[in-house]
């Protein structure tokens, strides 16, 4: 025993050889899939010339960023990304928490189960299928809106896929449609977990339902709300690519209100083959996104260390 305590960490590590071997495939994958691209971000500072290779290409300093931030796009994609995410976070939070509290009040067990199943369904559908669902409603010639609903209301057909003005509302609706149910179930689990004694005591003290929700339910599920919201704020510089690319049918006319950083990087890389521009936008996203994650986590840690993510 004495000898073991004196042994160096390295000697101790040798005893766990098998455990280290188990780690190899996963760590190797992360090094390739995640860490090599991090190093690869240097291409944002280069003028990539495939004849010279990625490492051999000339350094151009911040030229790519100068070009990027001179375009009007840089402002539009940043604004769209952040505003959409802010709206999604707030509306989702209000809808999901409200539904979760109502679901908890529902006395009928059967219907409660049934609704739990139904609201979760949209979350599991790929954004390609969501694109089909939206298309079946908004298609100019055959959509339910133009062919059935608008004629009922006596309104002229709308060319949905070429009117940028409608899309902030449509995309918000689609996002809430696809994620509010999922968040509702998460908050519902938290509401169910609250000790009934709190409510019994409050009822004895004469508190009504509304006061109980405001003073007991909401404060007690706040840790879950904070963690879920923090995770979303941490990703405020990233968008749901499928929502902005697939659901809009990749329509160029809609870009002023639907272009976000992710779709911009994709289009400039794979449509225009513009490595300089796309890598600059990508690096901008990664770095600012990273700072936002650290900052939001730090802020929460200051307020209540138990609620922070790390």
The tokens describing 192, both together, are 């169910």
Tally of CB atoms within 10 A around 217: 22
- Residues within window 210-229 making contact with other proteins, judged by CB under 8 A: 224, 227-228
Binding-site member from 213, 275, 296, 300 for other proteins (CB under 8 A): 275
- Residues within window 125-144 making contact with other proteins, judged by CB under 8 A: 125-129, 131-137, 139, 141-144
Region binding other proteins by CB under 8 A among candidate stretches 55-63, 75-83, 162-170, 266-274: 266-274
| 278 contacts other proteins (rule: CB under 8 A) | yes
**What is the rounded CA–CA span in Å between residue 61 and residue 39?**
16
**What is the rounded CA–CA span in Å between residue 42 and residue 87?**
33
3-state secondary structure of 309: coil
Q: Give buried/exposed letters for 156-188 (b at 16+ CB in 10 A, else e).
A: eeeebbeeeebbeebbeebbbebbbbbbbbebb
Binding-site member from 213, 221, 233, 265 for other proteins (CB under 8 A): 265
**What is the rounded CA–CA span in Å between residue 264 and residue 267?**
5
CB of 143 to other proteins, least distance (A): 6
Binding-site member from 9, 72, 110, 206 for other proteins (CB under 8 A): 9
CB of 94 to other proteins, least distance (A): 14
Residue 117 or 203 having the CB closest to other proteins: 117
Cβ burial, residue 239 (10 Å; 0-12/13-18/19+):
buried
| 124 contacts other proteins (rule: CB under 8 A) | yes
CB of 103 to other proteins, least distance (A): 7
- Region of 249 (left: φ > 0; alpha: ψ -120 to 50; beta: rest) is left
Binding-site member from 30, 83, 201, 299 for other proteins (CB under 8 A): 30
| 253 contacts other proteins (rule: CB under 8 A) | no
**Among 175, 144, 176, which Cα is nearest to 160's?**
144
Site string for other proteins, 160-199 (x = CB under 8 A): -----------------x---x---xx--xx---------
CB of 205 to other proteins, least distance (A): 19
| 153 contacts other proteins (rule: CB under 8 A) | no
């Amino acid at each position: 025993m004495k000898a073991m305590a004196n042994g160096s960490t390295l000697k101790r590590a040798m005893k766990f050889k098998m455990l280290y071997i188990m780690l190899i495939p996963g760590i190797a994958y992360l090094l390739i899939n995640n860490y090599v691209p991090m190093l690869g971000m240097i291409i944002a500072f280069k003028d990539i010339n495939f004849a010279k290779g990625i490492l051999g290409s000339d350094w151009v300093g911040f030229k790519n960023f100068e070009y990027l931030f001179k375009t009007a796009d840089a402002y539009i994609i940043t604004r769209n990304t952040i505003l959409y995410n802010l709206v999604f976070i707030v509306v989702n939070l209000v809808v999901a928490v409200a539904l979760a509290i109502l679901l908890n009040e529902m006395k009928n067990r059967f219907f409660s189960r049934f609704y739990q199943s139904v609201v979760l369904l949209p979350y599991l559908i790929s954004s390609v299928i969501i694109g089909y669902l939206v298309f079946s409603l908004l298609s100019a010639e055959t959509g339910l809106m133009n062919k059935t609903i608008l004629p009922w209301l006596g309104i002229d057909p709308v060319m949905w896929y070429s009117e940028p003005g409608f899309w902030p509302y449509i995309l918000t609706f689609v996002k809430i449609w696809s994620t509010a149910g999922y968040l509702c179930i998460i908050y519902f689990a938290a509401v169910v977990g609250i000790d009934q004694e709190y409510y019994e005591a409050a009822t004895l003290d004469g508190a009504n339902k509304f006061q109980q929700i405001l003073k007991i339910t909401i404060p007690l599920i706040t840790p879950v709300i904070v963690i879920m919201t923090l995770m979303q704020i941490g990703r405020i510089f990233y968008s749901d690519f499928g929502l902005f690319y697939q659901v809009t049918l990749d329509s160029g006319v809609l870009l002023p209100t639907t272009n976000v950083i992710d779709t911009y990087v994709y289009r400039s890389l794979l449509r225009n083959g513009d490595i300089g521009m796309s890598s600059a936008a990508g690096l901008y996203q990664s770095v600012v996104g990273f700072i936002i994650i650290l900052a939001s986590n730090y802020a929460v840690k200051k307020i209540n260390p138990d609620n922070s993510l790390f």
